[in-house]
Structure 1
């Protein structure tokens, strides 16, 4: 089996590499811990580490990133530092100098972010760095990042999508396409040469939060209507494979971390793939990653939809299954919250069943759950084993409803 670097980057053997990286940069490594892992079994592994470093000017907490591959390094790897131990070459960087996210250094510092906003004429008069507050909302090394920017005067909030160069023009065009059609996607305030998409905050609250407030956050019909309001031009975009097409890939990723789940995941993969084989790809306009974290609600209705990067042709069941999969795997709920989500699913799923094929819906939802089961390990959650097992059991429950 090709060495994809998983063993090196997730074990103690990585310490000499991290120590060498820090010393090369002029510091001394005092301590470190694994922070995040992205693995493509038999192809590559990328990991980040939280490290305490003593620099000449004092101690700081730093984020180090390392990518290892079975084959040759990629062209963008050359933007990082390349280290070699005689057996393999790895690409290493110090946050925010991610080799694939060229705009991350701009989004990470108030002075650079203020300069970008001012250069783009976002405000009538320039803003100063002391009026900006930056919060990292999510960082997937070498893939994407989102930074929340709160401006105190004039009071406004933006979300900055840090994109890879090849994806930037496409994502920008998709936001504009939906806005022009009246779909409540975020308004683009500014795009930058280093591939930042600066979006104005949408109204309302996140459905992920509103789920646990009194009353219904929105109706099942409202969710379907939002999806059905996407323009037909979305169906002319490049097709993105549904989550179910990659179920074997995600099952392999989970099995690599928890081999004892291998037989169950093999059974799930076979049942999902066989059950969906008769369904055509579909040409409905779809969101592609439709879940509670992507939706804004207010007054019991959906008022906004986020992360439209993935829109394209597909099947409505894909989107509705994605939502079911996410709602079925929310972690760390208290009993009242669990009861609220179960009640919503009990009432929403029959409505979805009238819009799409019920068997297809559950099989696709199970595939989404398996893709999500890679998350606890990637994020190095303390109880990642228990969370992963629970998710796989949720996928099994969905499949057993229809097979």
Structure 2
């Protein structure tokens, strides 16, 4: 089996590489801990580490990133520092100097972000670094980052997407396509040469928050209408493989960290792949990653749709299954919250069943759950084992509603 670097980057043997990288920058590594892991089994592994470093000017907490590959390093690896452990080369960088996210240094610091907003005339008057509050919403090393920017005076909120060069133009086009069609996608107020896409905050509140408040956040029919309102031009964009197409890949990723689930996962992925083989790829306009975190609601209505990077041709069942999969795997709920989500699913799923094939819906939802089950380990949650097992049990429950056989 090709060595994808996972064992090296997730074990104690990575310390000499981290130490060498810090010393190369003029610091001394005091301690470190694994923060996040992205693995493509038998291909590559990228990991980040929270490190305490003593610099000549004092101690600081830093984020270090390391990428290892089974074959040759990629061209963008050369933007990082290259180190050897005696057997292989790895790319190492110090946040925010991510080798694939060239705009991250600009988005990570208030002074540079203020300058960017001012040069782009985004606000009615210039702002200073002291008027900005920056918070990292999401960071997938070497893939993407999202930074929330709050301006104190005048109060405005923006989200900065830090993108890779090869996807930047396409994602910008997708935002414009939906806005021009009247869809409530984010308004792009600024783009930069280093691939930052700055959008204005949408109205309302996140559906992820609203589902736990009294009353219904929105009718399920509104969710279907929103998706069906996407322009047909979306179906002419590049096709993104649905989550179910990679169920075997995600099952292997989970099995690699929890071998005791391997047999169950093998059965689940076989049932999903076989059950979905009769459905063609589809040419409906789809969101591609449709879940409660991507929607904004107000007054019992949907008023915004986020993260439209993934729009393209597919099947409506993929979008609705994605929402079901996410709602089925929310972690750390109290009993009242669990009851609220169960009630929503009990009332929303029958509505979705009238729009798409019920068997397809459940199998695709199970595939989404299996893909999400890689998250607790990647994020190094303290109880990642328990969370992962619970997610696989949830996927199993969905499959067993429609599967003809037991493992």
Question: What are the ranges of 5 or more consecutive residues in structure 1 without an aligned counterpart?
Answer: none
Q: Normalising by structure 2, report the TM-score.
A: 0.99
String of CA shifts for 1:352-373, please: whole Å, max 9, x gaps: 0000000000000000000000
SS in 2 for 1:253: helix
User: 2:321 — aligned with what?
Assistant: 321
User: 1:33 — aligned with what?
Assistant: 33
**Structure 1 position 211 matched with structure 2 position 218:** no
Cα separation, 1, equivalents of 2:127 and 2:271: 56
Cα separation, 2, equivalents of 1:165 and 1:60: 30
Q: How does 1:157-172 map to 2 (within 5 A)?
A: 157-172=157-172
**CA RMSD of superposed structures (Å):** 0.5
SS in 2 for 1:166: helix
User: 1:179 — aligned with what?
Assistant: 179
Q: How does 1:111-150 map to 2 (within 5 A)?
A: 111-150=111-150
Cα separation, 2, equivalents of 1:265 and 1:221: 33
**Structure 1 position 347 matched with structure 2 position 347:** yes
**Structure 1 position 230 matched with structure 2 position 246:** no
Cα separation, 2, equivalents of 1:24 and 1:258: 36
Cα separation, 1, equivalents of 2:102 and 2:149: 18
Task: Quote the offset at 1:125 in angstroms.
Answer: 2.3
SS in 1 for 2:362: helix
String of CA shifts for 1:73-99, please: whole Å, max 9, x gaps: 000000000001231000000000000
Q: How does 1:42-53 map to 2 (within 5 A)?
A: 42-53=42-53
Cα separation, 1, equivalents of 2:135 and 2:86: 40
String of CA shifts for 1:109-155, please: whole Å, max 9, x gaps: 00110111111111232211111110000101000100000011121
Task: Quote the offset at 1:235 in angstroms.
Answer: 0.6
Cα separation, 1, equivalents of 2:124 and 2:143: 33
Question: What are the ranges of 5 or more consecutive residues in structure 2 without an aligned counterpart?
Answer: none
Task: Quote the offset at 1:226 in angstroms.
Answer: 0.5
Q: How many residues align?
A: 403
Q: How does 1:179-328 map to 2 (within 5 A)?
A: 179-328=179-328
Cα separation, 1, equivalents of 2:160 and 2:213: 27
Extract structure 1 runs of 4+ deviating beyond 6 A: none
String of CA shifts for 1:230-262, please: whole Å, max 9, x gaps: 011101101110000000000010001001100
